[in-house]
Structure 1
Amino acid sequence: MARSCTFGIEEEYLLVNLGTGQVPATPSPAVIGRCREALGQYFAQEMFRSQIEVASPVFANLSEAREFFQYSRQRLRTTLAEEGMGLYGAASHPTAAWLRQKPAAPAHYRQLFADYRHVARRSLLNGLHVHVGVPPGCDRMQVINRVLGWLPLLLVLSTSSPLWVGQHTGYMSYRRVICGEWPHMGLPEPLPDWAAYERYRALLQRTGSLAVDGDFWWAIRPSRRFPTVELRICDGCPQLEDALCIAALFRHLVEHSITSRHDLAASNRELRWVAQENYWRAMRHGRQGEFIGLHEQRPVTAEGWLAQLQELLPIDTADAERVFYHAQHLLREGTHADQQLQCLAQARAAGLGRAQALQAVVAVGACN
């Protein structure tokens, strides 16, 4: 039986006009105020004025997470609808005019825009972040190294950003392409343990490359605020069950890495090459990609890769069984990126102009 770790989830959303489907550059203070009232302590302003975040409490099980997000999403939808606004949860908006978007008021965000200019302005993107708690004394960098190789599979399941500025980008997660423009936002450095992490951090701080209170934005990282390992690779998930599936799989991976202490992935140089290659293939092709198996290092489909994970992790609860079933469904029937592209194709085939077809895609990206 794997150790039961607590976990938390952070979801980012864009605010959209229900009539036009567009992201307003400056939503009214009343709209943001009502969102804050609806969520209370779980509300957070994100880096754009038109973007908010829900940061959950700590959960002990998936039922608690489902109940919380069903309530918070519904509360937000109802509140925003009264203001003529909606909640958009896919990782990229198909037509948002990113150059018109304004940074949020907090000084931290204004500094990001000053430091990174167009890279920050282009980052009108929604992500799904999952924190999993680890016991005292557990080396979080070693945990990260053990689970790293499976992260591209979790990205595949979450892909929801194939469209950007009205165009099909050719990527199923264009969000992660844009993330690659930032420093310290790809896969983490190959640091063998916590001592190496602290030396690396000290080096960057000593040389002016990282502020004393600065963060790494890696695809997976040790949180500075909490005793957790934080998953950051995943696109935002409009469908709640998709987000819960990914959160549960990541939690299972971390639990297994703590209890088994077996290498689950890229613990040596060659396996890290595999992780990097699979990461690119996940961004580009999503569930249609051909991947490299982590142990035999032979070609494997996304479904075959999930089956390997299913063999590795114990399925000892109804929740675990349900999670793997949902992941299989996504890989067989299509992730949200596939749904967006299908919606666009169907709308064009029905005779809609490109602008109308893209507006239909916006409706698909609304949070359920």
Structure 2
Amino acid sequence: MTDFNRSEMLTIGAEEELFVVDHKTKAPVSNGLAGFSTLLNGRSTGEIGGYDTEFQAAIVETRTGICGSLGDLHSELVALRRALADAADAEGRSVVCAGTLPIGDWRAVDVVPKPRYHQIADHYHDVVRRRFTCGYHVHVGVDDRDRAVHVLNRVAPWLPTLLAVSASSPFFASRSTGYASYRHTLWGGFPVAGPAPRFESYSQYQQYADMLIATGTILDAGHIYWDARLGTRFETVEFRIMDACPSVDDAVLVAALCRALVLTVLREIEQGKPEVRMDQPFLRAATWHAARWGLDKDLIDVGAKEAVPASTMVERFLQYIRGALEDLKDFDAVSDLMRQVSRSGNSAVRQRAILLRGGSLRDVTEQLVSLTDSGNVAVP
């Protein structure tokens, strides 16, 4: 395991993955963006804030800088998306931010010709090739690694709710999957994915990661694909469970929920409140439930061990983190953004509604393109 760069407490940063599609057909391009290198001018790969390639040529990652407020995060997400959309438009292409792409075949998309990506392809084979998905990763600064491990343990019961709110992948390979987040199910074939085990200390976490690498199970710590993990380059808790959000407003909402959740559990740790111990298989079942139905049906309250209406579970979550939201001065913004989701549903619901109105999967994709570049409403 490597040394970590220090992160300021409770700052936020985000990584968004986006598809590159043909402007006319809305199908994924096979070979990425020819002009992608121009986006890296002054922002080389690996730095905070910028762009990077992904395993498949039709996927690009954006990374914000370290943000202190939701307004800063909103501005960075919009700027990164628009620069990418402009570069794509110059080549007759568009970008789509969603968990999966409604149309097209992943088998027609090239692997980016980098030695590391070919090594990944050789190690995981079809599991990684068919994982043609885009996620949204939120980093929250926690400047002590042992404390961050305990944060991981305590945020786990709420991760299925975050997945349900962000779900944006009901279609895959030109068909309806029946899932709100089909993306999450596609990660199930990896050896280290889903809910993280419980750890007592950073040393134990590190030893477990080293064991996975030493046994050849994963290639490096970056292939720990748990729903939440410790940041691999920075002192952060990294939330990975969420689908990529077509709406910038939804992306900001989810980031705000993640940060308030971290602050809430940090306070519990400082106050010596007992941790709610979970049954791992039950947590996995709750996560599958959220991926299957999103906000359309019940969600499972892992702590209470009961299924409740999704609206009830969201309200329990908001009440749990309300004090943190108020102290971070995010409560009003989060309340407004959550009301939008309550009225219109998550992205999966909104995408399906287009088909119910007689639209096509191409119409769905066109709306996703429009949302990706719209910027939505600025957050104060």
Q: Distance in 2 between matches of 1:326 and 1:149?
A: 22
Q: Could you say which residue in structure 1 is the equivalent of 2:333? A: 322
Query: 1:208 Cα shift?
Result: 3.1
Q: Name the CA shift for 1:157/1:47 in 2 (closer, same or farther; >3 Å).
A: same
Q: In structure 1, which of residues 25, 30, 33 is the aligned counterpart of residue 37 of structure 2?
A: 33
CA drift of 1:265 comes to 10
Q: Quick one: distance in 2 between partners of 1:88 and 1:122?
A: 18
- With over 3 angstroms needed to count, the CA separation of the structure-2 counterparts of 1:20 and 1:45, relative to structure 1, is same
Structural mapping, 1:92-111, within 5 Å: 92-111=100-119
2:377 alignment counterpart: none
Distance 2:80 2:145 in 1: 34
Distance apart, 1:267 and its partner CA? 4.1
Provide Cα deviations, 1:18-77, integer angstroms capped at 9, x if missing partner: 1111111013523x2344349766111111112111111101111111111122222222
The aligned counterpart of 1:346 is: 357
Displacement of 1:10 in angstroms is 0.2
Q: Which moved more, 1:256-265 or 1:113-122?
A: 256-265
1:361 aligns with 2:364: yes
- The offset of 1:287, in angstroms, is 0.2
Q: Are the equivalent residues in 2 in contact too, given 1:59–1:65 (CA < 8 A)?
A: yes
* Maintained 8 Å contact 2:286/2:302: no
When structure 1 is superposed on structure 2, of 36-45 and 126-135 the one drifting more is 36-45
For residue 297 of structure 2, what is the aligned residue in structure 1?
A: 289
**Structure 1 residue aligned with 2:200:** 192
What value does the CA root-mean-square deviation take over the aligned residues? Answer: 2.3
SS at match of 1:347: coil
Task: Please give the alpha-carbon distance, in whole angstroms, between the structure 2 residues aligned to 1:323 and 1:36.
Answer: 33
Cα–Cα, structure 1 residues 209 and 265, in superposed 2: closer, same or farther, change >3 Å?
farther
C-alpha distance in structure 2 between counterparts of 1:220 and 1:13, whole Å: 20
What secondary structure is seen at the aligned counterpart in 1 of 2:225? coil
What pairs with 1:121-140 in structure 2 (closer than 5 Å)?
A: 121-136=129-144, 138-140=146-148
Verify the 8 A CA contact 1:14 1:23 in the aligned structure 2. Answer: yes
Match of 1:144 among 142, 152, 155: 152
Q: Distance in 1 between matches of 2:139 and 2:132?
A: 22
Deviation, structure 1 residue 159 = 0.5
The answer to whether residue 69 in structure 2 is matched with residue 61 in structure 1 is yes
Of 8, 16, 20 in structure 1, the residue corresponding to residue 25 of structure 2 is 20
Aligned equivalents of 2:275, 2:294: Cα separation in 1: 20
The superposition leaves residues 88-121 of structure 1 with CA deviations (integer Å, 9 ceiling, x where unpaired) of 1111111121111111122221111111111111
> Are 1:128 and 1:237, in contact at CA under 8 Å, matched by a contact in 2?
yes
Structure 2: any 5+ residue segments left out of the alignment?
1-7, 375-380
| Per-residue deviation, residues 111-153 of structure 1 (Å, max 9, x unmatched) | 1111111111111111000011102354222110100110010
SS of residue matched to 2:17: strand
Residue in 1 that maps onto 2:3: none
Return the letter of the residue paired with 2:336: Y
Aligned CA distance change for structure 1 residues 77 and 269 (closer, same or farther; 3 Å): closer
Q: CA deviation at 1:7?
A: 1.2
Deviation at residue 230 of structure 1 after TM alignment: 0.5
1:336-355 CA-partner distances (Å, limit 9, x unpaired): 1111111122235xxxxxxx
Deviations 1:129-185 (A, max 9, x none): 001110235422211010011001000111111111121111110001101111112
Percent pairwise identity: 26
For 1:298, the aligned partner's letter is E
Contact (CA 8 Å) 2:88, 2:95: kept in 1 or not?
yes
* SS of corresponding position for 1:234: strand
- Aligned partners of 2:9 and 2:143 also within 8 Å: no
Q: Tell me, yes or no, if structure 1 residue 256 matches structure 2 residue 259.
A: no
User: What is residue 5 of structure 1 aligned with on the other side?
Assistant: 10
- Find the residue that maps to 1:229 and give its secondary structure: strand
Provide the TM-score with structure 1 as the length reference: 0.90
Asked whether the equivalents of residues 293 and 299 of structure 1 are also in contact (C-alpha less than 8 Å), the reply is yes
User: Is the 1:45–1:51 Cα contact (8 Å) retained in structure 2?
Assistant: yes
Q: Give the gaps of 5 or more residues in structure 1.
A: 349-356
Q: Which moved more, 1:61-70 or 1:228-237?
A: 61-70
